[in-house]
Amino acid sequence: MGKQQICICNSLQEELQNIIVNTNHDHVFVLTDTHTEKYCLPLIRNVKGIDTAQMITIPADDINKNVESLSSVWSALSRHGATRHSLMINLGGGMVTDLGGFAASTFKRGIRYINIPTTLLSMVDAAVGGKTGINFNGLKNEVGVFNTSEYVLIDTEFLKTIDRTNLLSGYAEMLKHGLISTQEEWHRLLTFDMDEVNYEKLKEMVAASVAIKEKVVNEDPYEKGIRKALNLGHTVGHAFESLSFLSEKPLAHGYAVAFGLICELYLSHVNCGFPKTELQQILTFIKENYGVYAFGCSQYEELFELMTHDKKNESKDINFTLLSNIGEIHINQTASKEQIFEMFDFYRYSLGI
């Protein structure tokens, strides 16, 4: 997998123009969804090379990260004469960068592409590291390939207009990156004021967060080993997310991860000696900022069942990444059903459910 160049931009327009001017290509395509077409495209519309580019727009939201949208992108590329020497620019959140990355990676066996993430979640996670794909058969990210974009251009100015839910959703992935890095990074994240956002400080923290992910991905691009550290909070988080989709109140991905982190750090405490103080710190932070995700003991079996179907499991055991301290990572950990139910008890008791 090629190395990705990640740029935290001072001027997105200038960076983009430089890249377009210095890249050999015959056509430029810009992929947006209906939301980013309206709110983000105007910011780059006058950049040289974008002004003459062919626009492709797909419907917004994760529900449209499907084979129909993918097919519509392939059709548009084909109809407008894309060749192996064309360049595709994905402008949007994780849905656009995942689907667009997959479309570019497969069209004519692969064309070059650039990600311009517009949400916090896509800046610190989805757009970085080459995981591309679509949902299929009711399963998230079921079909896809590993293939990095040539560049990721991050402009944190976009964060000034996203809503609090989206901000917190991305911030959960930043908390995860802090937990697998250093005490210093972890404390910077815990003490950041989510109510009075300092965007200059946030920009520095985004850069640090992306660097943490980049280091892990460079070491293990295909998730054979240490990249599994990035799954911290996600084994339980995905089960919460799936369960919530069956109700009237679906959880945003990052919220599910935040609640998953509480559970998996409890398991880390019990199985690997993760310190109680840090467990209490994250509990307080998540409760104050994310609220609670409520479920009863009658749903433990269903959650357990959802966890056994997680594609991260390599055998019938449920696979976890756990920590013995901040930055001390243990991949390929398992837990008994009894321990998992105790973990749910701890979560509900601690959050007062």
Q: How far is the CB of 238 from ligand GLY (least distance, A)?
A: 11
Dihedral sign for Cα atoms in the order 13, 19, 24, 27: negative
Q: Identify which of residues 60 and 230 has a Cβ nearer to ligand GLY in the complex.
A: 230
Q: What whole-number distance in Å separates Cα of residue 237 and Cα of residue 61?
A: 19
Residue 293-322 contact track with ligand GLY, rule CB under 6 A, x = bound: ------------------------------
230 binds ligand GLY (CB under 6 A): yes
Q: How far is the CB of 224 from ligand GLY (least distance, A)?
A: 12
Q: How far is the CB of 116 from ligand GLY (least distance, A)?
A: 18
Q: What whole-number distance in Å separates Cα of residue 260 and Cα of residue 276?
A: 17
Q: What whole-number distance in Å separates Cα of residue 57 and Cα of residue 59?
A: 7
Q: What whole-number distance in Å separates Cα of residue 306 and Cα of residue 235?
A: 9
Q: How far is the CB of 180 from ligand GLY (least distance, A)?
A: 11
The interface region with ligand GLY, picked from 79-87, 124-132, 201-209, 322-330 by CB under 6 A, is 124-132
Q: Identify which of residues 84 and 215 has a Cβ nearer to ligand GLY in the complex.
A: 215
Tokens matching residue 230: 């990035």
Secondary structure in 3-state letters for 287-350 = HHHHCCCCCCHHHHHHHHHHHHCCCCCCCCCCCEEEEEECCEEEEEECCCHHHHHHHHHHHHHH
98 binds ligand GLY (CB under 6 A): no
Pick one of 65, 177, 227, 269: the residue that binds ligand GLY (CB under 6 A).
227
Q: How far is the CB of 209 from ligand GLY (least distance, A)?
A: 12
Coil vs helix vs strand at 113: strand
129 binds ligand GLY (CB under 6 A): yes
Instruction: Concatenate the DSSP letters of all residues of 199-212 into one string.
Output: HHHHHHHHHHHHHH
Q: What whole-number distance in Å separates Cα of residue 259 and Cα of residue 237?
A: 7
The residue at minimum Cβ distance from ligand GLY is 230
Q: Identify which of residues 203 and 213 has a Cβ nearer to ligand GLY in the complex.
A: 213
The interface region with ligand GLY, picked from 116-124, 125-133, 137-145, 315-323 by CB under 6 A, is 125-133
Where are the strands (E) in 65-111, listed by range?
87-92
Q: How many residues bind ligand GLY (CB under 6 A)?
A: 5
Q: How far is the CB of 40 from ligand GLY (least distance, A)?
A: 22
Which amino acid does the sequence have at 273? Answer: G
Dihedral sign for Cα atoms in the order 291, 279, 339, 332: positive
125 binds ligand GLY (CB under 6 A): yes
Q: Which residues contact 124 (CB under 8 A, 6 or more apart)?
A: 170, 173, 174, 177, 206, 209, 210, 213
Pick one of 131, 177, 238, 253: the residue that binds ligand GLY (CB under 6 A).
131
Q: How far is the CB of 231 from ligand GLY (least distance, A)?
A: 7
Q: What whole-number distance in Å separates Cα of residue 173 and Cα of residue 232?
A: 9
203 binds ligand GLY (CB under 6 A): no
Which DSSP letter does residue 252 get? P
Q: How far does CA 332 lie from the centroid of its chain?
A: 21
Q: Identify which of residues 53 and 180 has a Cβ nearer to ligand GLY in the complex.
A: 180
Decide if 179 contacts 323 (C-beta within 8 A).
Answer: yes
Q: How far is the CB of 208 from ligand GLY (least distance, A)?
A: 17
Q: Identify which of residues 5 and 11 has a Cβ nearer to ligand GLY in the complex.
A: 5
Q: For binding to ligand GLY (CB under 6 A), which residues are involved?
A: 125, 129, 131, 227, 230
